[in-house]
Chains A and B, each alone.
Chain A
Amino acid sequence: MPSETLKEQVIRISGVNPLKCMRCGKCSGSCPSYEDMEYHPHQFAYMVEKGEIEKLMNSDSIYKCLTCFACVERCPRNVEPAKLVEAVRLVKIRQQGANHLKAESIPEKLDAELPQQAIVSAFRKYSK
């Protein structure tokens, strides 16, 4: 069986059809991390469509999504860009040794008020 291309992996994991995107930009307009991203949510849609997965995988943008579901909620075409961001991140961090958040880095990030929920969530998003 021929192995999946990166684009096929992202489409399968996300369950998203980027061809449905009509490039209205509402996702990026709604995105709370917009100004901190190199590639914005609407760019994930067309770059996945064009197969430019490696560029996305190697950008810090995949760690800036807050999974706030604003783009999922507001997309008029149900493209759900957050799911594309997550799928690209999964393709990246599922590689051997590619965990983005390392357990050793946790002690320096702790403060007295930090809720457990933050640590659990960050591990779920940034590491496998």
Chain B
Amino acid sequence: MKISYYPGCTLKTKAKELDRYGRESAKALGVELEELENWQCCGGVYPTGKDEIATKLSSVRTLENAKKNGGKLVTLCSACHNVLKQVNEEIKTNEDFAFRANNYSKFDEEYHGETEVIHYLEMLRDTVGFDEIKKKVVKPFKGVKIGAYYGCLLLRPSKVMQMDNPENPKIIEDFIRAIGGEPVIYPYRNECCGGYVTMEDKNIAVKKSSAIMESAGSFGADLMVTACPLCLYNLTQNGGGSVPVKYFTELLAEALGVKEED
């Protein structure tokens, strides 16, 4: 099965392993992620201003491109997922934005949010199935206590993201069980790491990320997993580094036996 795939800027640079392990694992699970041609950076954060048009156009182009290439788009970075999904919702529901974006873009056929944007985790849950993954695991994370770190962007705003319960999610815990690990539920798993504020006021990112690390550590996590390069940066560089943090795709590749060492 082939599905269109949007890697995003950071997966081509600092987070190459998030991308590589994601593709290799998908292949092992029978899904070929086909990178969209000529994709552009999503901008990293969703601009909430109602009159912001230009800042959302790169996402509109990506979504329209995916519409012509199967109609389904898999994202991997939490931030790209959040931006693409929210822009898609906006062009579906905000007539003024849809009119202006289409008027400017001059696509062969107008775009009104037809593409289905799904995160890689949703692909694992809904397309592949966690039970199928379990069957294909050759190296289970037996006895390893793993804390899922959701952060903000996968879950909120839940009206639009519709991935899971925003206050009590379980998709990553189910993933951890599928690869044979033991999920650790800790209170800060859906709290913000500080995100881009590390560029503005590092102290805030240090406080937020440290609280998350301490929370996960005190509940017994040996390891934490995330889908977001900026979360990984904040937790490891600003959070004190008491618990190792990895991309969930790296664990998946390892469990499936497709992780090649560099």
Binding site for B on A (CB under 8 A): 12-15, 32-33, 36, 63-64, 66-70, 72-73, 82-83, 86-87, 90, 100-101, 109, 111, 113-122, 124-126
Contact = CB atoms under 8 A, between A and B. Distances in A.
Interface string B173-198: 00000000000000000011011111
Nearest to B200: A63
A12 B50 contact: yes
Which label, helix, strand, loop or mixed, suits the secondary structure of the A interface? helix
Contact of A13 (B50, B195, B199): B50
Contacts of B191: 32
B152 A68 contact: yes
A116 B14 contact: yes
B258 interface: no
Which label, helix, strand, loop or mixed, suits the secondary structure of the B interface? loop
Contact of B197 (A12, A64, A117): A64
Contact of A67 (B46, B50, B208): B46
B197 A109 contact: no
Which bucket holds chain B's interface residue count?
35 or more
B14 A64 contact: no
Given A66-B194, A73-B156, 7 more contacts: A66-B152, A70-B152, A73-B166, A82-B48, A87-B49, A115-B10, A116-B14
B79 interface: yes
B192 A118 contact: no
B157 A101 contact: no
B50 A113 contact: no
Interface in B14-64: 14-15, 41, 43-52, 55
Interface in B202-235: 203-204, 208, 229-230, 232-233
